[in-house]
Structure 1
Amino acid sequence: MLRNRDVDPIRQALDKLKNRHNQQVALFHKLEQIRDRLIDDGDDAVAESA
């Protein structure tokens, strides 16, 4: 059914979704690192990031 169709727009849309997901995962990991630093270093970590 798709053999005679241009599937590039579908591929591009899927790539865009995958990229957005990867960006969200990276941001989540960064937030986890910040959280861990705040837990480990407390007020010192807050003062350094301000």
Structure 2
Amino acid sequence: EDIRVFTESLDEALARLADGGITNVIAVAALQWLALNREKLRRQWLAGDA
């Protein structure tokens, strides 16, 4: 199994997801969830509720 770790912004990851560059089902589900909940999480974090 070839596992490579790297970092990128969420916007870059979502663009790769949209382009079909991310095919791992766990990563796809996680990124879709994060895309749907991004603003809610940001509000909670900034309010100190995280």
TM-score between both structures, scaled by the size of structure 1:
0.33
TM-score between both structures, scaled by the size of structure 2:
0.33
Q: Which has the higher helix share?
A: 1
**Which is bigger in relative contact order (C-alpha 8 A, separation at least 6)?**
2
User: Who wins on radius of gyration, i.e. which is larger?
Assistant: 1
